[in-house]
Amino acid sequence: MRPRLSCNSNLLSDRPLADAIRFLADAGYQGVDINAETAPPFLPAPCPHLRPDSSSSERREVRRAAESAGLRLVSMNAHCSLVHPIGEKRLANVAFVREIVMLAAEIGCGCVVVGGGRKEYYGWDADYWARLVQSLGELLETASPNGVALAVEAGSQPGVLLFGTARVRKLFSTAGLENLQLLFDSAHFHIRGEDVSRAFEALREHIAHVHLKDARGGVEEYSCPPLGMGDVDFPGLAHSIERTGYSGFCAVEYEAFAWGYPSEPARVLADSLTFLNGVFGSKGAAV
């Protein structure tokens, strides 16, 4: 049975979020991942749909639109460097994510997704790792009491601190991070040379949310084409999702426009839905 499907709102960044929510619902999706990132690692960079300075009226409108459309506010994506070696910048980024966590709690969004950051300057891996653990611990102090899941995403680009099954396991075995959860992105594990379905099953107990994104190539040179046009083993991943009883959302995260693929929303949403119906079966959404 097909899982409940969400979509990253970056695909619809040219329209207000309330309109994007209605558009996704009409296209057959059950949820939305809200883009709150100001500097994603690709171009053209979509504008964030919500920010810490979004007005109270904007926040109310988004919540009303989701309730009216019967669509879940699944997550807010708030990637920024949590490991920056300049202390003031790291603290500013942690403060930004903390504000996004509070915004998520206010609008009824249950999850905030962050990245592990990358080594932007010379320095020991252990020092960057310590900053990551510290930053995540600080954010959990805000997220957990407010009923928001903090999910870290393992990346794939050169220099990222968190990637692959082994390093994810290392992070989740760290004392003080017991409430931390994982955003599983199929493309990133594939780019790092892993069997995506095996990685999903190995990390299943930590997974709060899934990004369905295709990929081809390796760490130094890769692309993320539309679903079905890359090399990710989606039938295998679908089997693992069903076999392990994962009942959360799976989000279409379309970043193919960064490699010159079409970005017309209606076409992307329809093509993605057709592909995923074929992979998971078209018997409807999981309950």
Cα(221)–Cα(191) distance, integer angstroms: 9
Which residues neighbour 27 within 8 Å (Cβ) at sequence distance 6 or greater?
266, 269, 270, 273
Q: What is the mean pLDDT of residues 242-262?
A: 95
Residue appearing with tokens 């019967």:
70
With CA atoms as reference, report the closest residue to 111 among 181, 172, 186, 174: 181
Chain centroid to CA 114? 8
Phi, then psi, of 275 in degrees rounded to 5:
-60, -45
Structure confidence by residue, pLDDT tens digits, 166-191:
999 999 999 999 999 999 999 999 99
DSSP bridge pairs for 8? 33
Secondary element (H or E) of residue 216: strand 216-217
Q: What angle do CA 162, 163, 169 make, to 5 degrees?
A: 80
Cα(272)–Cα(269) distance, integer angstroms: 5
Helix/strand/coil percentages in the chain, nearest 5: 45, 15, 40
Structure confidence by residue, pLDDT tens digits, 106-156:
999 999 999 989 998 999 999 999 999 999 999 999 999 999 999 999 999
Q: Are strands 216-217 and 250-252 parallel, antiparallel or unpaired?
A: unpaired
Tokens of 149: 């899941």
- Phi-psi label, residue 2: left if phi above 0, alpha if psi -120 to 50, beta otherwise: beta
With CA atoms as reference, report the closest residue to 181 among 280, 110, 86, 128: 110
* Confidence at 43, pLDDT banded by 50, 70, 90: confident
* Confidence at 225, pLDDT banded by 50, 70, 90: very high
Q: What is the mean pLDDT of residues 45-59?
A: 94
The pLDDT, as a whole number, for residue 218 is 95
Q: Which fold has domain 5-280?
A: TIM Barrel (3.20.20)
The ranges assigned to domains in the chain are 5-280
Number of residues that this document lists for the chain:
287
* Confidence at 281, pLDDT banded by 50, 70, 90: confident
Q: What angle do CA 114, 119, 124 make, to 5 degrees?
A: 120
* Confidence at 284, pLDDT banded by 50, 70, 90: very low
* Confidence at 158, pLDDT banded by 50, 70, 90: very high
The pLDDT, as a whole number, for residue 282 is 54
